Structure 1
Amino acid sequence: MKLAEALAERADATRRVEQLRARIVSSARHQEGETPAEDAAQLLAEASEVLGSLEDLIRRINRTNAATDLGEHGTLTDALARRDVLRLRHSVVTSAADAAAGTGERGYGRQLRSELMMLAALPVAELRGQADALARDIREIDVRIQRANWEVDLLD
């Protein structure tokens, strides 16, 4: 099985657990004399089984990520960490540029000469350039990660 397939299975198992959780909660109590729509104990047992399989799958994915070398980016785990931080950095820089530019702010422009003028405390154009460079870096590392996901076999 390829790593990408395991990641899809992990997502499916996570969704399945959430669905089972919701069904367990709705069936956990019922009125006296009524029969619950589903057997909460059976659903709980099924959730436990899915969670056990999910734990095994996550362990295998993590082992594979740690053992897969992506060259200049280190291991796949290193690349994932780098991508996550790049996304956060992009968000911070974009938010800073938006705030400095007054984007989304109502009434940013002056209506009258007597109103106070708002000035940018940060270089908006420079921040936009940084955001563009970060977005490019995110795309590049994401392509390498996705390629590895489809080329690497899942470890046992």
Structure 2
Amino acid sequence: MERDGMKLAEALQERADLNRNIEQLKDRLVHNALVQEGELPAESPEKLKQELDAAILRLSYLIAHINETNCKTFVDGKSLTEIIAKKDALSVKIYTYKDIVYAGSQTAYRARNSEIKIKSAISVTDWQSEIDKMSKELRLLDNTLQESNWKTELME
């Protein structure tokens, strides 16, 4: 079912669609795996299994070729795989920093009606400034990846 000239972005979209489709097929199979004696399932489990197997086979093909393309495509001296890894790590860092900033912003705690004052042990402003810079970097990385995905042919 491969076709000439598939862009990496199209392959990524198809991969996402296949993942959703596989989940739906699994749910449909689960709902049709048991029936009352003497009854027929609403859908043929064998037909659903064939659809599931075909979707998984196509997914395997796409994953292999997406990964190969990402490893062999370079933007500004870095492979797409490196850019994706940097983007993923930056996302984790931003998410973690946001949780820390949120915790550091909660200065209204009181211990059992006493007058114990709680203060932040971090500079929330500095941490937030760092989050803002990282968020901009993340957007730029994402833009680079999106642009590259639409310009790059999937390696087959």
TM-score, normalisation: structure 1 = 0.91
Q: 2:52 aligns with which of 47, 53, 57?
A: 47
SS at match of 1:139: helix
Q: How much has 1:119 moved relative to structure 2?
A: 0.7
User: What fraction of aligned residue pairs are identical, expressed as a percent?
Assistant: 36
Letter in 2 for 1:97: V
The 4+ residue runs of structure 1 with deviation greater than 2 A are none
Give matches, 1:27-106, under 5 Å: 27-72=32-77, 74-102=78-106
Letter in 2 for 1:153: E
Q: How much has 1:8 moved relative to structure 2?
A: 0.6
Q: How much has 1:114 moved relative to structure 2?
A: 4.9
Length, aligned pairs only: 149
TM-score, normalisation: structure 2 = 0.91
Letter in 1 for 2:41: P
C-alpha distance in 2, partners of 1:155/1:141?
22
Q: How much has 1:97 moved relative to structure 2?
A: 1.1
1:118-152 Cα offsets, whole Å, 9 max, x none, are 11011111101110111011011111000000000
Q: 2:31 aligns with which of 17, 26, 36?
A: 26
The aligned counterpart of 1:9 is: 14
- Flag structure 1 segments of 5+ consecutive residues without an equivalent: none
C-alpha distance in 1, partners of 2:123/2:47?
60
RMSD over aligned CA atoms reads 1.5
C-alpha distance in 2, partners of 1:49/1:96?
45
C-alpha distance in 2, partners of 1:29/1:98?
48
- Flag structure 2 segments of 5+ consecutive residues without an equivalent: 1-5
Q: How much has 1:95 moved relative to structure 2?
A: 1.2
